[in-house]
Amino acid sequence: MKVGIIGLPNVGKSSLFNLLTSAHAHVANFPFTTIDRNVGMAPIYDQRLDMIAQITRSPKITGAQIEFVDIAGLIEGASRGEGLGNTFLAHIRDVDVVLHVVRCFHDPQIPHIEAKLRPDHDYDIVRTELLLADLELIERRMEKTKKKAECQDECQYLVKIHEALTRGKAPDRSCVDPPLITAKKEIIVLNLDENTEYTGKMEGYRLSVKMEEDIVDMSEGEKQELRAEIHAETAGISGLIDQCYRSLSLIMFYTIKGDETRAWLLKEGSSVLEAAGKIHSDMEKGFIKAEVLPYKDFIEAKDFTAAQQAGMTKIEGKEYVVHDGDIILIKFRA
Ligand SMILES: Nc1nc2c(ncn2[C@@H]2O[C@H](COP(=O)(O)OP(=O)(O)OP(=O)(O)O)[C@@H](O)[C@H]2O)c(=O)[nH]1
Ligand SMILES: [Mg+2]
């Protein structure tokens, strides 16, 4: 599961990526600083893991993380190969959710496509390129399918998507093949000016990358106050990670084993067999059964063994659909 950071050049994508992942991707005040994508992991703040760890007192606590990909900036004509060409469009196709950064800060030292700030116009430029790139993909696919009698249903389906795209409409989310960029979930991030309130009509997650860089070492209370002053989201960077996590339709399950208490991510609706595979392929191959305890029961029992003895855990087979917050002990043949 990956979140791709996209937008025009010089809008603060790599700076945001560094804040999210604590990486050191190259940042500079000229366009196309990022050429090859940067990949990093961001920690998901998880209060339940803290509560579980308080009980287990494990020396090692491992939280769940989401992958972020910082992608090269794109400009008008990108779908035809302008700017850095269109290889990076494949990088966008490869992610599950798009984080679209829009510049709402003034800074004459950092070149922008035009002097006047028009965030909604900037957003449309990027969106149009993505629509055009998707149109091209659909047209190539239509060309292939129309020659084959057995692909007539697929061809009709492609014609419908083509029509929607030409009207500038994003295709349905359920459309995963071909992998259209505009069908992906999108979170818009407004990169605000650290000094002035943004009063434009564009909506999105309000954050000032520059301010976040400056306040990194402050207390949570101070951070929230400063964010509120410019009408940014008070949850800042961790709130954005949380929103990305929610948009990915994931759940969390936990394991307590030896000296480690750990949170794991899983696609909503997955079976416990898939959960076992996340931990280790041997566990999936040799799966016998799982012992499952809901989070709230664990907190009540204050111990996994005590919960077992009180009959609070349930033995489940491989088909069991994992619930968010389940604490799972897998029995397997090694
Ligand atoms: N004033 C101000 N400057 C910022 C902000 N965010 C980033 N910058 C500056 O803008 C310049 C570009 O930032 P990057 O993070 O490299 O931007 P990018 O979108 O990754 O750019 P490309 O990789 O070239 O597409 C750098 O000089 C940053 O320090 C911000 O919120 N406010
Ligand atoms: Mg960059």
Domains of the chain with bracketed CATH: 2-34+71-245 (1.10.150.300), 250-332 (3.10.20.30)
Indicate if the pLDDT at residue 254 is higher than 70.
Answer: yes
* Inter-residue contact 52 to 253 (CB < 8 Å): no
Q: Tell me the C-alpha distance between 122 and 153, whole Å.
A: 37
Q: Tell me the C-alpha distance between 212 and 9, whole Å.
A: 20
Query: Would you state the structure tokens that stand for residue 37, as one six-digit string?
Result: 């994508």
| Burial annotation 249-284 (CB, 10 A radius, 16+ → b, else e) | ebbbbbbbeeeebbbbbbeeebbbbebbbbbeeebb
Lowest mean pLDDT among 110-119, 187-196, 245-254, 280-289: 110-119
Residue 80 alpha carbon to ligand 2 centre in Å = 21
What is residue 264's three-state secondary structure? strand
Ligand 1 mutation pick, 6, 15, 92, 102, max ligand atoms within 8 A of CB: 15
pTM (two decimals): 0.90
Provide residues with CB under 6 Å of ligand 1. Answer: 9-15, 27-29, 31-34, 73, 105, 107, 110, 191, 208-210
Ligand 1 mutation pick, 10, 68, 99, 106, max ligand atoms within 8 A of CB: 10
Q: Which amino acid is it at 176?
A: V
Task: Please report where in the chains the tokens 């990956």 appear, as a residue.
Answer: 2
* H helices present in the chain, as ranges: 13-21, 47-56, 87-93, 119-145, 152-166, 209-214, 220-229, 236-247, 272-279, 281-285, 295-301, 304-309
Q: Which of 161, 157, 205 is nearest to 181 (CA)?
A: 161
Q: What is the structure's pLDDT at 142?
A: 79
pLDDT digits (tens, 9 = 90+) for 118-156: 899 999 999 988 888 888 888 888 787 777 766 667 777
Q: What is the structure's pLDDT at 113?
A: 82
Q: Tell me the C-alpha distance between 100 and 103, whole Å.
A: 10
Residue 15 alpha carbon to ligand 1 centre in Å = 6
Peptide bond into 178 cis (omega under 30): yes
User: Looking at residues 48-56, what average pLDDT do you find?
Assistant: 94
Atom from ligand 1 closest to the CA of residue 29: 27
Q: What is the structure's pLDDT at 174?
A: 65
* Inter-residue contact 49 to 263 (CB < 8 Å): yes
Distance of CA 139 to the CA centre of its chain: 29
* Inter-residue contact 306 to 254 (CB < 8 Å): no
DSSP state of 38: E
* Inter-residue contact 98 to 184 (CB < 8 Å): yes
Closest CA to ligand 1's atom 14: 12
